[in-house]
Structure formats: C-alpha cells, structure tokens
C-alpha cells in the first residue's frame, strides 16, 4: 500500500500511499471522533467503503456518522477490530499501546495514519493543500466554498465543521480535493498537492519539533511536495513562510498588503472590522470584494483562497460574488447569542497569536463595554513554553478566567498547574486574571457578574465550549431576554463606519 517512487524535481523519492478499491472495503478508524478523522470517515463511506470506528468519548457529529451508516463505538476494545476489517486508519494521537492498534498489528492488517489516508485520497484527485500555524480551517473552508460557488464541486476534508458547507467533508464530482494540512507530527508531508498555500509559520507543536528552525524545515519539505506544474501561494509578510517556500520548484506567488505581492489587498475599508478591498493580481485589478468575517488577518486568508480558486479555474466575477457570503467555520468567532445586551462568543484559538488577533477582531466587531474571556489552555507544554506571550495576549480585557489545562495527548499529572502560573503572570502584568480549575464552577461565577454591554468569549481548543453551552442554558432559564438571530449578530449600537485602512 505504501511505495517509494521517484518524485518531482523538488524531491528524489516519495512515500506514496496507493489505496485499494474502496467499494465494500471494511475500514476501521481508531480515534474517529477527531474532526479530521470524522470527515475522512464520511468520505470513505461516500466512496463505498464499509466504515466502523471508535473513540474514547461521544463527539460532535457522531449522530451524523451513525445516520450515514458508520458503526461507531465509544471506547477502545481489541474485539472491535474484527475479522472483516481489511484496513485500519489511526489518528496521529493513537499510541501503539492502544488495544485496537495492537489487534491490527497482531492480524498483520495494513495500518495508515490519518495523514497517509488523506495522501491516498488526494492521489485520486488534483490536490489543494492549505498549511500554516494559524487560519487553516477557516481558509480551507473559504477555499471549498469558493470552489463550490464557482461550480467546481470539490472534494474536501477540513478540521472543523461548517453548516454552510454541510459538514467538514464531501466527495464532490469535480477534479479537486481540498485538504486542511496540519504540521503536527509532520502529517502534511504525506500530501502531494498541485496547488498549495502557506499562510504563516510560527513556533508550535514543540512536543514534536525541536525549535522554529525545525518547523521551517518541515514547511520547506511540504513546499517541495507541490507538483512542479502547480502553484504555491505564500504569505509575503512572513519571513519563515518565505524561507520555506524557497524549497518549492513549482511557481511561487506571494499574497499580502504591499505592492510587491503578487496578490495584493488594496484600498481597504473597515466596517466594524469587516473589510472590503480591491484584489490586485500582478499589478492589475482582479476584482473588488469583501469578507463578512472580522479581522484584518482575514483579508490575508481571503487572498490565499482567492489565489487557489483562480488557479483551479474560478473566474474573478464568481470569486467576487461568493466571498462576501462565506460565513466561516464552527468555533471560529461563533456568536452563540445575545441576552439583554450580553453577547456570548465561542472560539477555538489556543496559541498566543491566534488569541491576540481573535480578541482584536471581536473588539472591532462588537465594541463591548467589557470583555470577559474564559480560557482553557491546551497542553501544559505549550502553555509553559509561551507563558509570557499568552499573558500578554489578554491585554485590554476586563477579566480572564483560566480553567485547568486540557491535556489532549500529554500526561501532565503531578505537574504544578500551568494555568495557575499563567494567572500569576497575567496579574504581574496588571491583567486581571482568575484561576478557576473546576470548569463546573465557571458559568455560575461569570453569569453572576455580567452587565448589559458585556461580551463573553469562551476560548480554547479543548472542551471549553461546554461552558458556553452552560451559559446559554442559564441565560435561557433566567429572565434575560434573548435577541433574535439577526440582532445577536449585529454590532453594538452606534452605526457602521467605513474606516480607510493603510495598505501597508
């Protein structure tokens, strides 16, 4: 199933996965609850495979998979890798000690990591891969949406759900397969796309990378995997992304706000953080459009998606019409509602840079009297490494409630609480922080303090969204009046204002 083959001019050999005929093939997926894995399960089902899977806990979208005919089990048992299984796919977080993994090895079944499966699926289509430390899900969803609106009917696998797209994966009838391409565990090196984007490169996932230099090296290898007759679009403002792109032997185009960029956003106007702009391609007007999602950084994401859609065959008019209608992905500045002037927003941000730009975008959009943040750190190692940066990212907030760390794939038992240390660091910087380790106590505390004009944000990549759910229930059971959906997504009173933004 894996085969070393001669590569392109940019790499001498490739570890390529060739998938067998998927029709009626029994595939078992360990860790099926991950957003990427669940999307891949749906894709395999659409290709005709018989799919089963397991995860430790029930997960968002589990009901949809079951309704589609996927057999899902909660808990990992060796017996779930039964005699009918012909292929096993495992999440990158699954260790060799997992009982289902051990059962697969004992039966000499082929075992693919999730990224290898994506590489094999990409080999069936023309690949479009979006990589970067931040913004991958939103930009991948945006790219898929532009392709759909242009009639290209893409297949896609994205690490977040989108009601607008109908989920986080699809097979499509067109020639393209769009993949959110993650650098964790060097997963994206299993992909060989024709079109690709590098949005940004920063230190992260330092549990599998030594330092930034090693991360840049991995992105450089990703860039070298782009087909020589394809295109790589790269953030022209990010020195690390530019350094990585030098390893690509395909055509490289930059995007950004400077005149030197191949894809330039010019003449920006802000309406409460939502930007309209002209797209200049190689010195000529390509189109004029806008993004409905707030934040100047979203314009850069849009440029990458626009470039990929253009090279795949979408014309400028189709792109310009479609982009303003893109509504984003779940848990990316998702407004949960407004009750008597108190607005609740949920977001996935878990890196200091993501938190900074997300809070800035929320301030622009909602203009709150007070900003409350409920933050659940994601992994002790990440929290400790970026301690000062995390603390600084919460500047200009009314108060930050920090819960205990969501450990994900690490074991932090016996370690001093990184969350408590983060709160101490914040308080030393005169940033109001409060450590409430038990998530069950957070909603009660925050709900009792809120006033009209407040914005509350639940932030983190773990299960902090459960606090948002709890707050919604508390608000609905209280005497707070809930605004309509339209009102809930409006900005604070005062009227829209178009504010010119410098291009550079």
Residue ranges, comma separated, of all CATH 3.40.1190.10 domains in the chain are 125-325
* Burial letters 305-339, b for 16+ CB under 10 A, else e: bbbbbbbbebebebbbebbeebebbbbbbbbbbbb
φ/ψ of residue 498, rounded to 5: -90, 115
Tens digit of pLDDT per residue, the chain (504 long)?
655 444 443 344 566 778 888 999 999 999 999 878 998 999 999 899 999 999 988 887 888 899 989 999 999 999 999 999 999 999 988 999 999 999 999 999 999 999 899 999 998 899 999 999 999 999 999 999 999 999 999 999 998 889 899 888 898 999 999 999 999 889 899 999 999 999 999 998 878 899 999 999 999 999 999 999 999 999 999 999 999 999 999 999 999 999 999 999 999 999 999 999 999 999 999 999 999 999 999 999 999 999 999 999 999 999 999 999 999 999 999 999 999 999 999 999 999 999 999 999 999 999 999 999 999 999 898 999 999 999 999 999 999 999 999 876 655 555 568 999 999 999 999 999 999 999 999 999 999 999 999 999 999 998 999 999 999 999 998 877 777 553 444 333 333 334 444 433
pLDDT at 504: 35
454-459 sheet: strands from edge to edge? 334-339, 342-347, 454-459, 370-375, 399-402, 433-435
Q: Residue 228: which residues within 8 A CB-CB, separation 6 or more? A: 8, 9, 10, 249, 250
CA nearest to 191, candidates 166, 151, 236, 221: 221
CA nearest to 42, candidates 8, 20, 14, 72: 72
Q: DSSP of 390-440, one letter per residue?
A: HHHHTTT-SEEEE---B-TTS--TTSPPHHHHHHHHHHHTT--EEE---GG
pLDDT at 484: 57
Residue ranges, comma separated, of all CATH 3.40.50.720 domains in the chain are 2-112
CATH superfamily of 125-325: Mur-like, catalytic domain (3.40.1190.10)
CATH superfamily of 334-488: Mur ligase, C-terminal domain (3.90.190.20)
Task: Give the three-state DSSP class for 247.
Answer: coil
CA nearest to 366, candidates 345, 349, 347, 346: 345
Rounded alpha-carbon distances, angstroms, from residue 122 to 115, 133, 323, 418 = 10, 21, 25, 40
Is residue 237 within 8 Å of residue 256, measured between CB atoms? Answer: yes
Q: How many residues does the chain have?
A: 504
pLDDT at 492: 34
- What is the 8-class DSSP label of residue 76? -
CATH hierarchy code of domain 2-112: 3.40.50.720
Residue ranges, comma separated, of all CATH 3.90.190.20 domains in the chain are 334-488
């Amino acid at each position: 199933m894996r085969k070393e083959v001669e590569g392109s001019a940019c790499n001498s050999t490739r570890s390529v996965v060739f998938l067998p005929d998927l029709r009626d093939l029994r595939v078992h997926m360990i860790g099926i609850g991950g957003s990427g894995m669940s999307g891949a399960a749906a894709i395999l089902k659409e290709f005709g495979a018989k799919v089963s899977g397991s995860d430790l806990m029930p997960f968002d979208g589990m009901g949809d998979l079951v309704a589609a005919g996927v057999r899902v089990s909660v808990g990992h048992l060796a017996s779930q890798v039964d005699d009918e299984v012909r292929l096993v796919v495992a999440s990158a977080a699954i260790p060799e000690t997992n009982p289902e993994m051990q059962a697969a090895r004992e039966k000499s079944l082929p075992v693919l990591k999730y990224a290898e499966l994506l590489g094999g699926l990409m080999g069936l289509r023309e690949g479009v891969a979006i990589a970067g430390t931040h913004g991958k899900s939103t930009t991948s969803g945006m790219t898929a949406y532009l392709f759909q609106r242009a009639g290209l009917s893409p297949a896609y696998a994205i690490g977040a759900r989108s009601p607008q797209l109908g989920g986080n994966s699809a097979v499509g009838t067109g020639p393209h397969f769009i993949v959110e391409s993650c650098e964790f565990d060097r997963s994206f090196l299993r992909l060989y796309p024709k079109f690709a984007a590098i949005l940004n490169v920063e230190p992260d996932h330092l549990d599998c990378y030594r330092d930034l230099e090693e991360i840049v090296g991995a992105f450089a290898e990703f860039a070298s995997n782009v087909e020589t007759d394809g295109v790589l679009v790269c953030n022209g403002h990010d020195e690390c992304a530019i350094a990585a792109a030098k390893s690509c032997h395909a055509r490289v185009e930059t995007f950004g706000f400077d005149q030197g960029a191949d894809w330039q956003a010019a003449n920006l106007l802000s309406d409460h953080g939502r930007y309209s702009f002209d797209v200049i391609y190689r010195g000529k007007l390509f189109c004029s459009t806008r993004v409905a999602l707030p934040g100047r950084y979203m314009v850069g994401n849009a440029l990458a998606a626009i470039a990929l859609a253009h090279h795949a065959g979408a014309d400028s008019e189709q792109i310009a019409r479609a982009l303003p209608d893109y509504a984003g992905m779940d848990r990316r500045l998702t407004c949960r509602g407004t009750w008597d002037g108190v607005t609740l927003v949920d977001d996935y941000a878990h890196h200091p840079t993501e938190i900074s730009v997300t809070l800035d975008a929320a301030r622009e959009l909602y203009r709150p009297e007070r900003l409350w943040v409920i933050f659940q750190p994601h992994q002790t190692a990440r929290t400790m490494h970026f301690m000062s940066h995390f603390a600084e990212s919460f500047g200009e907030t009314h108060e930050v409630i920090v819960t205990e760390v969501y450990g994900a794939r690490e074991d932090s038992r016996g370690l001093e609480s990184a969350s408590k240390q983060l709160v101490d660091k914040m308080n030393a910087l005169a940033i109001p922080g409060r450590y409430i380790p038990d998530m069950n106590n957070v909603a009660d505390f925050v709900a009792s303090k809120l006033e009209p004009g407040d914005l509350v944000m639940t932030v983190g990549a773990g299960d902090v969204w459960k606090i948002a759910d709890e707050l919604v229930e508390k608000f609905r059971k209280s005497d707070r009046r809930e605004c309509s959906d339209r009102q809930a997504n409006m900005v604070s009173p005062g009227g829209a204002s178009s504010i010119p933004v410098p291009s550079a």
